[in-house]
Structure 1
Amino acid sequence: METVKARVQGNSVVLTVPKAFNVNTGTEYTVVRQSDGSILYQPKDGYDIWADSSLDNFDYAAELQREYLDLGYNPREVKPVGREKLND
């Protein structure tokens, strides 16, 4: 088991990856913070959202409401005013 320490670099907090893990430079990862506070990095190309157990109890309805609050309106309740293409 390796131990790393979070540090500030510019406007980010950085966790280093030990060289022994043989991570190729430029490899992209998705990052998920688990309910227990742990942080899970998974290679982007191999990420399977359907197998991600951290989303098992995700409250999608609450997230939708947060997005509406952030937008300031519900897009489904707004009548198009320009040349928006309507679904037939």
Structure 2
Amino acid sequence: MFTKTINQGNSIMVTVPKSFNIPSGVMLDVKKVENGTLYTFVQEEYDFFDFSTEILQDIIKEGYRGEQIVQEFTQRKQRINHQLHQMVDETLATQAWMTKEELAREIGLNN
């Protein structure tokens, strides 16, 4: 099966046939490979950042003990994951896309 790309502003979008039943908003990991581009699905449990050590340090400093540590850690970890995903969604919805060349210019790589 073939698919095609579409220009959308400063981005190139890849169309996926509806028959694939991929819902809107699914996160993909993109890798450039020798003969093209490889897209793989990111599992929902995937944590881009792992703040476990910092969370535990804070909980211990705050005086939690025993089973309280486990309960508090679980709650904070869930909140962080939710907040990170919310920040990504908000950024994707509100920020303008830019090309690689525009980014290079903006951060001073094109002299």
TM-score calculated relative to the size of structure 1: 0.45
Q: Which has the higher contact order (CA 8 A, sep 6+)?
A: 2
Select the structure that is richer in helix.
Answer: 2
